Amino acid sequence: MPSTNVEFVTELMEFSVHGALIQAFVMQALEQYARCVAAMDPEALDTPMVSGRAWHGCAVEVRNKLARRLGRNEAGPPAPSSAQKR
C-alpha cells in the first residue's frame, strides 16, 4: 500500500543521504512556495478541483506559522473566512 502524504514527508525529513540538511531544504521550500502563493490574487488560483481562496488561505496559514516558528515578522493578517467574504 502506498504511504500517505504525512508518512512520505516524515520519511523525507527523517531519512536522507544529506542528513538533517534535508529538513532545512524542505522548510525553505515550504516557506518560498507559501510566500509566493500568499502574494497572489486568490481568484487567479482557481482550478476545477480547488478553490483559489482556499489554496490562498492555505498559503497564508503556512506562511504565518513558519514566520512565527522562525521568529520572523513577515506574518500577515489571517486569510478571511468564506463567511467574511459575503
Residue 44 cell numbers, joined? 487567479
pLDDT per residue over 14-55, tens digit each?
999 999 999 999 999 999 999 999 999 999 999 999 999 999
Instruction: Find the largest Cα–Cα distance for the chain.
Output: 49
Mean pLDDT of the region 6-14? 96
Residue 56 cell numbers, joined? 490562498
Q: What is the mean pLDDT of the chain?
A: 89
Per-residue pLDDT, 72:
83
CA-wise closest residue to 39 among 86, 15, 74, 4? 74
The alpha carbon of residue 52 and the mean position of all alpha carbons in its chain are separated, in whole angstroms, by: 14
**Under 8 Å CB-to-CB from 13, ≥6 apart: which residues?**
22, 23, 26
pLDDT band at 68 (very low <50, low <70, confident <90, very high): very high
Residue 25 cell numbers, joined? 531544504
Residue 2 cell numbers, joined? 502506498
